[in-house]
Amino acid sequence: MAAKWIEALTGSLEQKKQYKQAKARMDALPEPYAAAASAVQRYLLYSGDVTDGDTMVQMIVDLADLWERAALDGTPVGDIVGDDPVEFTETFAQAYGGKRWIDKERARLTKAIDEAKKEEKE
């Protein structure tokens, strides 16, 4: 009972656990993979604007998988992110549909314009 009440306020405890595990996996990577994974993860949190917790957790878990595989294979960081790390990270985030903050604002803008058009006709 208490867990449901806490989750109602803070979000899914299971999602938080999965996120922390994925983050710990990235932190445990050898350098320079740990630094690169951390930088990409930070950018995703600030710019990925994913509002769905399940989607965000899956994205971070997949990111940990990507960097672990790169470290195991010895793939250079530059081969992973290419020449533009921003483009890489934004493309990575786009692969994870889900609702985004901008979707809410787009709907709000469309509704406001539609209402303005209705008032204009009256």
Looking up residue 67, the CATH number of its domain turns out to be: 1.10.1900.10
Q: From residue 30, give the alpha-carbon distance in Å to each of 71, 78, 98.
A: 7, 16, 32
- The predicted structure's pLDDT at residue 102: 75
pLDDT at 106: 83
Q: What is the pLDDT of residue 18?
A: 93
3-class state of residue 18 by DSSP: helix
Enter the pTM of the model: 0.74
pLDDT for residue 99: 67
Domain that holds residue 11: 2-121
CA separation for the pair 93, 73 (Å, rounded): 23
**According to the model, what pLDDT value does residue 59 have?**
92
Which residue, among 57, 36, 33, has the nearest Cα to 45 in the 3D structure?
Answer: 57
What sign for the dihedral angle of Cα 108, 91, 77, 57?
A: positive
Quote the CA–CA distance of 12 and 105 in Å, as a whole number: 25
Total domains, the chain: 1
Tens-digit pLDDT profile for the chain (122 aa)?
566 655 555 567 888 899 999 999 999 999 999 999 999 999 988 876 676 788 889 999 999 999 999 999 999 999 999 999 999 998 998 888 766 667 778 888 999 999 998 888 77
φ, ψ (nearest 5 deg) of residue 52: -90, 120
